Amino acid sequence: MSTTALSNAVGKLERQLGVRLFNRTTRSVSLTDAGREFIGKIGPALQDIHDAMDAARSQQEFPTGTLRINAFATAAREILSPLILRFLRLYPQVHIDLVTEGRLVDVVADGFDFGIRTWDLVPSDMIAMPLGPARRNVVVGSPAYFRTHGKPLVPPDLLHHACLRIRLPNGASYRWHFEKNGQPAQIAVTGPITLDEASLSRIAVLEGAGIGYFMESDVCEDLDAGRLEMVLEDWTPPLAPLALYYPGRRHPSAAFKAFVELARELPKRAAWGR
């Protein structure tokens, strides 16, 4: 619903009840005491309605409807082909609504069926399953760049190179993370450009603008083809795998159950990428 339509609907409800449910100013909206009491009373009834709808959907013989998935962009790129597009080929009557963003969202409050994050970021009250193998970051540059400027041998050497800086969703600059023999290191690199999207950083590195820091899955084809070269390999150990997570449901839909089953098979198949 649009903001205007929602405001009109709430206003109509308030007129029917003869009581104000919200306090409104030009800057904020908050519940009145009557509004809080009203929500407390209707909450269980609405949950019963949703449970009845879920129970009806669970009786579907064939998966249909929409599944909403929240993931960060790199994870979405990794699972798009082996999981989501494969699912759509198997169940063409299902629509996937995939939303990518850097922040960690509450999938229940924001109306998502599933979330995809690294295993160590999954909320403790969610059901989770691994998607694929362990992952890792890599530091790469073009052969032409390394011929001209040489290769860094240890992370501090990056301070003498042109590096592509990474902007986090909160606006801060990301420090490149390394670890060797249990000793972590974080380097605040400098360079000619700051970017917030891996696909843009990849183009810049391929053009020889500097050294980049990526998830290996984002540049594995370039590494295999020799368009990029990896450095500091012994400083980038494996990371936690991706995980699909979701809240427990008493009456999952046929589409929901089919997606979970396909995701469960993913680690059993050959790992994607390199």
Domains and CATH numbers, the chain: 3-57 (1.10.10.10), 65-134+241-268 (3.40.190.10), 137-235 (3.40.190.10)
Task: Specify the pLDDT at position 274.
Answer: 43
Task: Specify the pLDDT at position 59.
Answer: 66
Looking at the DSSP bridge assignments, the partners of residue 139 are 213, 231
Alpha helices in the chain (DSSP H): 3-17, 33-57, 73-79, 86-90, 143-149, 198-206, 216-225, 254-265
Distance CA 40, CA 35 (A): 9
Nearest Cα neighbor of 174 from 203, 150, 134, 201 is: 201
Rounded to the nearest 10 degrees, how much is the dihedral formed by the CA atoms of 263, 268, 273, 274? 170
Residue type, 103: R
pLDDT in tens, 103-152: 888 888 888 999 999 888 888 889 999 887 778 899 999 999 999 999 99
- The DSSP result for 161-173, as a single string, is S-B-EEB-TTSPB
Task: Specify the pLDDT at position 211.
Answer: 97
Block means of pLDDT (10 residues each) for the chain, 274 residues, are 87 91 86 91 87 70 89 88 93 94 85 91 90 87 96 95 90 91 91 91 95 92 95 91 87 89 76 44
0.75 surpassed by pTM: no
Looking at the DSSP bridge assignments, the partners of residue 186 are 177
Task: Specify the pLDDT at position 49.
Answer: 87
Instruction: Please report, for residues 10, 38, 43, 110, the alpha-carbon distance to residue 7 in angstroms, rounded to integers and kept in the order given.
Output: 5, 17, 20, 19
